Amino acid sequence: MAPLISEKDLPDYRGKVVLLTGGNSGIGYATIQILARHGAKVHMATRNESRAKEAIQKITSEGIGAGSIEWLQLDLSDPRSAARAVQTFLMKEQRLDLLINNAAVGAGPFKLTSDGLLDIMVTNHISHVILTKGLLPLLKQTAAEPRSDVRIIALSSASHTFVDPDSFATRESLNKNYGNSLKGALNTYGYSKLACMLYFKALQKRFDADGTRITCVTVHPGAIRTPGGESVFADTPVVGLLFAKVIMPMMFGNWKDGALPVLYAAAGPKEKFKDAAYVTPKGVEAPSKAAVNARLSEEVYETTERVVKELNL
């Protein structure tokens, strides 16, 4: 299967600012590397400074041309860290052209945080919403400029198809945990990714209604061998460990393979990405029925907004 986009197809990103969550390894690492090579100023938003700086040094040593990479402290397991990261970023930058919500966790066992929220939902969805909401004024300011092309990309997963919830209308619905088995962990991960997809569908609806020229895209990068993916399976005795150490290296793609659908969402024709389109390695595809359910989308949006407000950040 031919890739959706190649590096040579990407536009010149000189003068453009990108923020990507995660990125010291995996798909985010490859995405940052390619965007920087095309001139972008990229903020790698991660928790661990030493790992981030080690990754930045490695990328830089391999050549990034006119681009640059900076570390931004962000611990997505803590909503307050997301709020602080917004303030730090806003003190540094006058524009934001591309926000890529890339980071995620998937390995259980999952537990409630001190805020009474399921930890995987905080990391994969709620903290990303806090980050996005805080950066919206700058994103909108950049989008108002002539010839701008501002996009918000949220990494999702095919595992969102594993679940079919009835409702997201309550705070408790965000805490749904399918258990600590391998299947349960994958379902809980997929549930968090479905919430993310539904939220950005509702956000795009609001952008379209008020004429905001920002494009939201959700992306399933494909079956990619990443440290995070390996950890989900490696934590499961025998079968999971065998899958992580033997099957994944043979059957799963590399980091760059996973970055290409993200880059297509970042630089592909905007007219293809209506209603927070779902991009896979094959192109724009239909997600699950739950992911396009208008009622669920509004419920996720309203419930998440209410939870964020209750956190009083």
Please give the single-letter amino acid code of residue 277: A
Structure token digits, residue 310: 């209750």
Distance (Å, whole) CA 29 – CA 22: 8
In the set 41, 159, 191, 193, the catalytic residue is 193
312, with CB counted inside 10 A (0-12, 13-18, 19+), is exposed
Q: Determine the Cα–Cα distance for residues 222 and 84; give it in Å rounded to an integer.
A: 32
CA gap 77, 47 in Å, rounded: 9
The distance of Cα 102 from the centroid of its chain, to the nearest Å, equals 3
Burial status of residue 168 (CB atoms within 10 A of its CB: 0-12, 13-18, 19 or more):
buried
* Catalytic one of 29, 178, 189, 191: 189
How far apart (Å, rounded) are the C-alpha atoms in residues 240 and 243?
5
- Please report the sign of the dihedral spanned by the C-alpha atoms of residue 254, residue 260, residue 261, residue 262: positive
Please give the Cα distance from 211 to 54 (Å, whole number).
Answer: 41
User: Is-catalytic flag, 25?
Assistant: no
Partners of 216 in beta bridges? 152
Read off the tokens for 130.
Answer: 């806090």
Catalytic annotation present for 156:
yes
Report the distance separating Cα 290 and Cα 296, nearest Å: 7
* Residue 285: φ, ψ to 5°: -130, 165
Active-site annotation holds for 189: yes
Q: Annotated active-site positions, please?
A: 156, 189, 193
